[in-house]
Structure 1
Amino acid sequence: MTSIALEDLPNHKGKIVGQSPWKTISQDIIQAFADATGDHQWIHVDVERAKKEAPWGAPVAHGFLTLSLIPQLNQQAMTVTGPAATINYGMNKVRLPAAVKSGSDIRSTVELLDVQDVDEKRVLATYKTVIEIKGEDKPAVVAENLAMYVKP
């Protein structure tokens, strides 16, 4: 895992700042997400039907499930030291080019696109996060995500 001091963050602009370890997306994780969100579409939760009828030959994770794993994966890829708090500030762009089949491994690669002082207490960082699927050509997610760092 990469560790970068908040005051040193601008020196990493335009660079890959970390890559997470692989995480397996099990059917249990997919089911828990379906239960939490109420999205029980058969392509996610009906294993036998998905094996027979889905274009992937298996159930797939919800796109929003994969997207929601960005904080977890990116915290395993890199950390910024020094802020009193780090706030998920949102997204600028999100694309979901490929489905994540149940049992697949994913990981994030994080690139720092921009760093801006908002005021004397806050710094806004813009990251490009790509979540790849082991063994697949297309990524599951390409997102421009924002982190607001609050200085102590």
Structure 2
Amino acid sequence: MITISNYEEFEAYLGKDLGTSNWHKIEQPQINLFADATLDHQWIHIDTEKAATDSPFKTTIAHGYLTLSLIPFLWKQIVSIQNLKMEINYGIEKLRFAQPVKVDSEVRLKVSLASIVNLRGVTKANIALALEVKDEKKPAFTGEVVFLYHFN
């Protein structure tokens, strides 16, 4: 795990790989809880019987936004940002969903520092990422997340 405590330490990683998280298995109970939390109960996510017969994937799939919501959890396995007053999710850029994540698949996050700017004492970091799916050639998604870090 990389530890970063200020802008200068962060900037040293510009254009470099930051690492890869551990694998995380997406199981049906997590998909169901996400469906309840977001009120998105589309059958392709929660109806295992219908998905087995009617889905082109022959099983349920995770919500795309569920996979996105894993970014903070997986990001914190790769980089520990210390000495913070505040951290803000600022945006997502260049996001593309490349393939669905089938239930019981394992995913992990691979990240690099695409850009970094000091905005009058606030660090704006664009983190390039890909959510890899175990035993699949294409990632579930690629893009960049933008974080604002207010260091002490």
State if a TM-score over 0.5 links the two structures.
Answer: yes
Report what 1:5 is aligned to: 5
In 1, distance between residues paired with 2:95 and 2:86?
A: 24
Question: Matched residue pairs, number?
Answer: 151
Matched, 1:25 2:39: no
Q: Tell me, what secondary structure is at the counterpart of 1:106?
A: strand
In 2, distance between residues paired with 1:21 and 1:8?
A: 24
Give the partner amino acid of 1:4: I
Give the partner amino acid of 1:105: E
Matched, 1:36 2:41: no
1:70-90, Cα deviation, whole Å (9 max, x unpaired): 111111121222322221111
Report what 2:52 is aligned to: 51
In 2, distance between residues paired with 1:114 and 1:108?
A: 18
In 2, distance between residues paired with 1:109 and 1:91?
A: 16
Report what 1:125 is aligned to: 125
- TM-fit CA distance, 1:23: 0.4
Asked whether the 8 Å contact 2:21–2:77 carries over to 1, the reply is yes
Asked whether the 8 Å contact 1:98–1:138 carries over to 2, the reply is yes
1:67-114, Cα deviation, whole Å (9 max, x unpaired): 111111111121222322221111122111010000000000111011
Report what 2:142 is aligned to: 142
Unmatched 5+ residue regions in structure 1?
Answer: none
Asked whether the 8 Å contact 1:19–1:78 carries over to 2, the reply is no
In 2, distance between residues paired with 1:3 and 1:107?
A: 19
